[in-house]
Amino acid sequence: MAPDTDPELAVTTPAASPGIEEAIPLDRVEAGHCGLVHEVRAGETEIEQLQAMGVCAGRKVMLVKTGDPMILKVLGSRIGVSARLASQVMVLPCGGDMFGQS
């Protein structure tokens, strides 16, 4: 496997079933963990931009670095986001660390 590719992100159906697990705000995901976007609370222009960048329902997001602002990885890009915005994105934790080995 080439070191530059990330098989975990290529798969959009959750590897481990989220099942009964409840959706949590994105800013509560731990660093190195993934989340499947469940719902985005719309409202601000910035949240629309975030959605257009790929943080929208059905996509998988990885939290690279916690804090405010934090760094997310979605599709092929890294995005810096304020914690306040991230708290409006509800995700289902889909387990697994960076490379999907949990």
Contact residues toward another protein (CB under 8 A) are: 2-7, 9-10, 12, 40, 42, 44-46, 48-54, 56-59, 64-65, 67-69, 71, 73-82, 84-85
Question: Which residues, listed in sequence order, are joined to residue 73 by a DSSP beta bridge?
Answer: 62, 78
> H or E stretch including 71?
strand 70-74
Nearest to another protein of 30, 68 (CB atom): 68
Contact yes or no for 43/34 (Cβ under 8 A): no
Nearer to another protein, 80 or 102 (CB): 80
Amino acid at 48: E
Question: Minimum CB separation from another protein for residue 68, in Å?
Answer: 6
